Amino acid sequence: MSSSSRSAGQQAEHAAADEAANEEEPIAVVFQCSECRSILGDSCAYVTPVDDLNAITLAAVSPAVLIAKELQTSVSGVDTGCGYYTLTCAGCNASIGRMYCSTPRQFDIIRDHYTFHIDCLTSYTIGKPSKTPQESMLLGSASISDYISRLRDIVTTIHERVERLEGMVSTDRAPDRGRKV
């Protein structure tokens, strides 16, 4: 999921609230594809969470988001009857969301925007001001515990990516038989 225990939507809302509270220290959340980690967008284009669809909506996205050419109509769920184009990740071709072009009134705010399924996203926060060592020492043990937890999540993510890359490299190489080391 993300480098903290919050969902991507909660991180975006938290970042927006933090930014409003302290305008000279901008905080942004970067949204990535959970499959390949391609950057899809950020909280600067955040429109709204869509709890009924377990999704978040952005007004703008990166070139890593591809929009299907074929218009589809939802046949089940709370968006039944809505017309949409499927959004896919250019990096791994995973289906990551929808761009609705016709919606009932309850979904007017997401029409013609990019709506991402939360389960298809991972995220991280950038722009947090760094603290001096003295300020860090004044943090409580709960803050240190949160920091260690975030670091562990980051290291785990990096480890998984390295393992995946090593697996790709090892399957691309043919075994060298007869070669002496």
- By DSSP bridging, strand 65-67 and strand 114-117 are unpaired
How far is Cα 95 from Cα 150, in angstroms, rounded to an integer?
28
Q: What are phi and psi of 166, to 5 degrees?
A: -60, -40
Tens place of pLDDT for every residue, the chain, 181 residues? 444 445 555 555 555 555 544 445 557 889 999 999 999 999 888 888 888 888 999 999 999 999 999 999 999 988 999 999 999 999 999 999 999 999 888 888 999 999 999 999 998 888 655 555 544 444 444 566 676 777 777 878 888 888 888 887 776 665 555 545 4
Query: Residues 46-55: pLDDT tens digits?
Result: 888 888 888 9
Handedness of CA 61, 63, 64, 68 (dihedral sign): positive
What pLDDT does residue 57 have?
A: 92
pTM above 0.75, yes or no: no
How far is Cα 118 from Cα 57, in angstroms, rounded to an integer?
10
Nearest to 28 by CA among 45, 38, 7, 42: 42
Handedness of CA 58, 62, 66, 67 (dihedral sign): positive
How far is Cα 154 from Cα 42, in angstroms, rounded to an integer?
19
**β-strand partners of 33:** 121
Q: Which long-range contacts (CB under 8 A, 24 or more apart) does 98-104 make?
A: 99/67, 101/71, 103/79
How far is Cα 39 from Cα 31, in angstroms, rounded to an integer?
6
- Token pair 């997401």 is at which residue? 110
Where does the chain have alpha helices with state H? Answer: 8-21, 133-138, 141-172
What pLDDT does residue 1 have?
A: 40
What pLDDT does residue 132 have?
A: 52
Q: Which fold has domain 8-129?
A: 2.170.150
Reading the block at residue 140, the tokens are 């409580």
